[in-house]
Amino acid sequence: MSARGPLFRTRAGLLVATSHELCATLLRDPRFGRGPGGRNGGDAGQPAASFLWLDPPDHTRLRALVSRAFTPRMVERLRPRVEAITRSLIRALPEEADLVSALAYPLPVMVISEMLGVPPEDRERFRAWSEKLARGLDPMLTEGLLSETGQARREFGAYFSDLAARRRKRPGDDLLSELTRVRELTEPELLATCVLLLVAGHETTVNLIANGALALLRHELLPEAARRPRQVVEEVLRYDPPVQLTSRVALEDVSLGGTPVPEGTLVMAVIGAANRDPAIFPEPGRFDVTRSPERHLAFGLGIHFCLGATLARMEGEIALSALAAAAPGLRLAGPAPPYKENVVLRGLAALPVRLSGSG
């Protein structure tokens, strides 16, 4: 896609940005947004559009209500718990394991579930719902997938509606209990926010941890995760970002890279391409954990910059560094681990490994 130029039209007429400069502009410029399709609505008992899909002022209002739970200071308070969960999961690894189901998936699910106040016995129910909602982000969905996504949203909404009712009667020390006390939050907005936080709070971090482990093992650089955890995670985010693309709508007639973009035009930002723009990252196809790739766009930019970026970074650093320290002989069990079918979210379906180099 990058070879076709920094901005091009597909045969279907979709405008696609691939350069770092144009993708950054698209994400940061307030003249691009989610558009009228992101108006907040929803019937009682059903999730409305989450603030991920909203423009100001609804986006500003809803994001502000939950952002204080994800400040660097609040996230740092979670570090001991994240480290304890990680140690427990790594200790339980058998000699041959699937690193996705054994570490990359359960760690972020447990963390965000505890933050929200979701009972441990309910967590496995989320997997199928989350997978369907993640597929729902993809373009050109079939009618069957659209139906499955809608059903997952309804079931997720019904679950959080019941849990919120219980938290109103018996509040706990968790984010959901706090949100139920916010009078400005309608019931549909509350449900949409809970679904967003739970799904976004683990789907992308699962991919970050698994994609990172794969890149480190393929390049025989796993020990670097213990030596320089931050640089490793930042390079993984650049090299193999969990979110490959996103989109914005022109909210008025505007120019992008000298190309006129009429109001209402949908423009796709290919994050994966922007993160390998040679104008920004020398030798972009090389996995180099010594570089400082903080200019990557894996978490977006502007008002929709990922709310959980600090938490995701911390979980990735802890998981990969602990894995390097505890299992220095870790090896891939096969050359080509399977990927999920998702287009927008890129991640492994499984990552078979052996704890030692034998076999």
pLDDT tens profile 170-220: 998 889 999 998 888 888 888 888 888 888 878 899 999 999 999 999 999
Residue with tokens 């200071």: 73
Residue 118 has pLDDT above 50, yes or no: yes
- What pLDDT, on the 0 to 100 scale, is given for residue 237? 96
Going through the chain in order, the beta strands assigned E by DSSP cover 7-9, 15-17, 32-33, 96-98, 245-250, 254-256, 259-261, 266-270, 331-332, 352-354
Residue 136 has pLDDT above 80, yes or no: no
Q: How confident is the model at residue 130 (pLDDT cuts 50, 70, 90)?
A: confident
> If you average pLDDT over residues 1-12, what whole number do you get?
89
Instruction: Please tell me the least confidently modeled range out of 28-32, 174-178, 329-333, 349-353.
Output: 174-178
Residue 37 has pLDDT above 90, yes or no: no
- What pLDDT, on the 0 to 100 scale, is given for residue 262? 94
Parse the chain into domains and list their residue ranges.
Answer: 39-238+304-354
In angstroms, rounded to a whole number, what is the distance separating the alpha carbons of residues 166 and 110?
20
Of 301, 308, 107, 101, the C-alpha closest to 197 is 308
The DSSP letter of residue 315 is H
Q: Residue 167 to residues 36, 56, 173: CA-CA distances in angstroms? A: 33, 29, 10
Instruction: Please tell me the least confidently modeled range out of 31-40, 280-289, 321-330.
Output: 31-40
pTM of the model: 0.91
Query: What is the SS3 assignment for 342?
Result: coil
42: left (phi over 0), alpha (psi -120 to 50) or beta: left
- What pLDDT, on the 0 to 100 scale, is given for residue 48? 61
- What pLDDT, on the 0 to 100 scale, is given for residue 40? 43
Q: How confident is the model at residue 293 (pLDDT cuts 50, 70, 90)?
A: low
> If you average pLDDT over residues 32-43, what whole number do you get?
63
Residue 241 has pLDDT above 90, yes or no: yes
In angstroms, rounded to a whole number, what is the distance separating the alpha carbons of residues 120 and 109?
10
Q: Which two tokens stand for residue 122?
A: 């309910």
- What pLDDT, on the 0 to 100 scale, is given for residue 195? 86
Residue 357 has pLDDT above 70, yes or no: no
> If you average pLDDT over residues 281-300, what whole number do you get?
91
Instruction: Please tell me the least confidently modeled range out of 8-17, 230-239, 346-355.
Output: 8-17
What is the Cα 110 distance to its own chain's centre? 15
The domain over range 39-238+304-354 is classified in CATH as 3.40.50.800 = no
Which residues, 6 or more positions from 293, have their beta carbon under 8 angstroms from its beta carbon? 234, 235, 237, 238, 275, 281
> If you average pLDDT over residues 65-81, what whole number do you get?
89
Q: Report the percent of the chain where pLDDT is more than 90.
A: 59
